[in-house]
Structure 1
Amino acid sequence: MDPIIAATHADPYPYYAQLRAEGGLVFHQGLNLWVASSARAVAAVLAHSDCHVRPSHEPVPPLIAQGMAGKVFGQLMRMNEGERQRCPRMAIEPGLTLIDVNEVKALVGARLITPGADGLYTAMFRGPVCVVAALLGFSPAQGRAISELTADFVACLSPLSDQAQLRAAHAATEQLKGYFIELLDDSSNRSALLAGIRQRFAAKSTDVEILIANLTGLCSQTYEATAGLIGNALLALIRNPQLDAAQVDDLIAEVQRFDASVQNTRRFVAAPCEIDGASLNHGDVILLLLASANRDPQLNDNPDTFLLERPNRRSFTFGAGRHQCPGQVLALHIASATLTEILARKPALDRLTWHYRPSLNGRIPLFA
């Protein structure tokens, strides 16, 4: 076991507890990076101005730097610091927090969710992106196309992707750009979300390429993280049949803390600094074990107990500070609505088998 393999291990949480006992921020010789496993260390790294989301010498991964996916990657707010992060975030975040939960429920309910593993896969991965696409003003048919292209695009975000997947990611990025250009040119678009985003963005920038890149990023961030949240909620019901499935909102809220779909993330040290008693140098890499911090007794009482009605629930699953996920509320709404629709069809959960999708940081079950 190591901190990266742990993301898709059957039960990494005893190992995470061991890491916390050894120190909140320690250097892992085998991986040649720092590992932040405690809530205090993770919070300190996420808040530190010298801990960046990309290494200064490599703003875009070399494998995609020369293609369209690399161009979009380099413009994403989640992959930038300073004004290149603040401007698109300021445009996109406010609208995401104001979306009506009933509208989300209606959009999820309008989709056909079929029983069985194939139906679950579509509901987990394709459905959430279709909801975001609809909120932006795309038609249902366009939304389905956007979800398929997003599935190809997200391959560029994983170091595990092969050359064929990367080529598909570049092609999908080109097509997504075309869809968003048409969307922005459509004078009949009545999306309040998109109108607000455009107005706030125009107040800071005229670079439409950055806006399109971050609308693509909004779809891609919805894709895997929401799928993992829905899937891990189903696993919680399978493993704990005594849970009240009617408390879907509480179930989703506790799952994102207890068994996070995003287990870890990274930060890159841009200048010498001291964090949680450790001296770090420029160029050092820090692996933040968000899922471990969620189970830290200093953050949550009885952290290894699954409690639907947990008081003062705290979590790092959606990050914290300047790079906290702007779509957290929307993701929780989509996951809750989707799980409600799945359970309404009374699936035979006891007949499902699963394995975790290969990943260096995601914990996303695939059902069969």
Structure 2
Amino acid sequence: MDPIIAATHADPYPYYAQLRAEGGLVFHQGLKLWVASSAAAVAAVLAHPDCQVRPTTEPVPKTIARGMAGEVFGRLMRMNEGERQRCPRSAIEPGLALIDAEEVRALVSARLITPNAEGLSKAMFRGPVCVVAALLGFTPAQARVISELTADFVACLSPLSHQLQLDCAHEAAEQLRGHFFELLDDSDVQSPLLNGIRQRFASSDMEMLIANLIGMCSQTYEATAGLIGNGLVALIRDQLLLPGDVDAFLAEVQRLDPSVQNTRRFVAAPCEIDGIHLKSGDTILVMLASANRDPQLNDDPDAFILDRPNRRSFSFGAGRHQCPGQVLALSIASATLRQILAINLDLGCLTWHYRPSLNGRIALFTEA
């Protein structure tokens, strides 16, 4: 076991407890990076201005730097610091907070979910992107195309992707860019979300705006799928009945078994964190899932407590790069989980494994 393999292990949480016992911020000799596993260390790293989301020497991964996927990647607010992060975020975040949960439920309900593993996969991965695309003003048919292209584009975000997947990601980025250009050029589009984003977007850089609209879809694709899937795993594994308060159920799922297990930060200048001196160029693996189960953050952290008081979680990040779409993601996941259970899919016939990933915990289901 190591901190990266742990993300897709059947039960990584005892190992995370061992990491915390060894120290909040410790150098891993095998991986040649620092591992922040305690809540205090994770909070300190995420808040530190010299801990950045990309290495200063490689703002865009070399594998995609010479293509459209790389151009989009380089403009994403979550892959940038300073004004290139603040400007898109200040345009996008306010509108996400205003989305009506009833509208989300209506969009989810409008999609047909077939009662088998294939239908479940589409509901987990494609459905949430269709919802975001619809909220941005795409028609249902267009939204399905956006979801398919997003599935190809997200391959550029994984170091595990092979060259054919990366080639498809470049092509998908080109097509997504074209669709968003057409959307922004269409004066008949009725989308309060999109209109608000355009009005607040302080830059005249259309490419920056389009890249971050694509980013809204790509962020939705895997993280929301993982949230839905891990909710189903909790119901099946622990033989739970879905409570009436689905929102509270998923809030505890995302704390206890988050879809994003870790993230990385790259030290841009010498600094000290948690009593440890770090050098420029150091890499820190930030163990979000481990911090969620730190007793210093949550009482009785390994227990599933539906009405947990003062629930605290790093699953959606913290500080300047905290995910602005947390409320929307939980709303989509809640509505989707209700729909899945309403189709009378036999959960007892499902088995699962976790999608290969260095940081994600996304259950893939098959029928036994």
| TM-score computed with the length of structure 2 as normaliser | 0.99
Secondary structure at the counterpart of residue 75 of structure 2: coil
Alpha-carbon distance, 1:40 to partner = 0.3
Moved beyond 6 Å, runs of 4+? none
The 1-side partners of 2:231 and 2:311 are apart by 17
Matches within 5 A, 1:183-202: 183-201=183-201
CA RMSD of aligned residues (A): 0.6
Residues 37 and 288, structure 1, Cα contact 8 Å, conserved in 2: yes
Alpha-carbon separation, structure 2, partners of 1:350 and 1:210: 46
Measured in 1, the distance between the counterparts of 2:166 and 2:219 equals 18
Q: Percent identity of the aligned residues?
A: 78
**What do the CA deviations read for 1:146-196 (whole angstroms, capped 9, x no partner)?**
000000000000000000000000000000001000000000011000000
State the partner residue of 2:131: 131
- Deviation sequence 1:252-275 (CA, Å, 0-9, x none): 111100000000000000000000
Task: Specify the code of the residue in structure 2 equivalent to 1:17.
Answer: A
- Distance in 2 (alpha carbons) for counterparts of 1:74 and 1:240: 42
> Secondary structure at 1:261's aligned position in 2?
coil
Give, as a single letter, the amino acid of the residue that structure 2 aligns with 1:322: R
What is residue 10 of structure 1 aligned with on the other side? Answer: 10
**SS of the counterpart of 2:337?**
helix
- CA shift, 1:249, in A, is 1.1
Kept in 2, the 8 Å contact 1:237–1:245? The answer is no
What residue number does 2:254 align with?
256
Q: Using the alignment, how far apart are the partners of 1:178 and 1:80 within structure 2?
A: 23
| CA drift at 1:244 | 3.9
Residue 273 of structure 1 is matched in structure 2 by 271
Cα deviation for residue 243 of structure 1 reads 3.8
Give the partner amino acid of 2:310: N
1:83-102 matched pairs, under 5 angstroms: 83-102=83-102
| Aligned counterparts of 2:295 and 2:184: Cα–Cα separation in 1 | 47
**Offset, 1:365:** 0.5
Q: Which residue of 1 aligns with 2:315?
A: 317
Shift in Å at residue 280 of structure 1?
0.2
One-letter code of the match for 2:12?
P
User: 2:334 matched to 1:336?
Assistant: yes
For 1:237, the equivalent position in structure 2 comes to 235
Q: Name the SS for the 1:353 alignment partner.
A: strand
Name the amino acid aligned to 1:100: D
- 2:301 is paired with a residue whose SS is coil
Check whether the contact 2:234–2:240 (CA below 8 A) recurs between aligned residues: no
Distance 1:321 1:242 in 2: 34
User: Post-superposition shift, 1:230?
Assistant: 0.0
What corresponds to 1:354 in structure 2?
352
For residues 283-294 of structure 1, the aligned pairs below 5 Å read 283-294=281-292
Q: Name the SS of the counterpart of 1:367 in structure 2.
A: strand
Q: Distance in 1 between matches of 2:132 and 2:89?
A: 16
Distance 2:2 2:257 in 1: 18
Q: Unaligned regions of 5+ residues in structure 2, if any?
A: none
Count of paired positions = 366
What are the ranges of 5 or more consecutive residues in structure 1 without an aligned counterpart?
Answer: none
Distance 1:362 1:246 in 2: 28
Query: Does structure 1 conserve the Cα–Cα contact (< 8 Å) formed by 2:104 and 2:331?
Result: yes
Q: What one-letter code is carried by the residue in structure 1 that aligns with 2:256?
A: F
Report deviation, 1:100: 0.4
Are 1:73 and 2:66 matched, yes or no?
no
Local SS of the residue matching 1:84: helix
User: Counterpart in 1 of 2:208?
Assistant: 210
Write the distance in 1 (CA, Å) between the matches of 2:130 and 2:40: 37
Shift of 1:246: 3.0
**CA–CA distance in structure 1, aligned partners of residues 231 and 224 of structure 2:** 11
Instruction: State the Cα distance separating 1:251 from its structure 2 match.
Output: 1.2
**Distance in 1 between the 2:331 and 2:139 partners?**
21
Secondary structure of 1:34's counterpart equals: strand
Shift of 1:347: 1.5
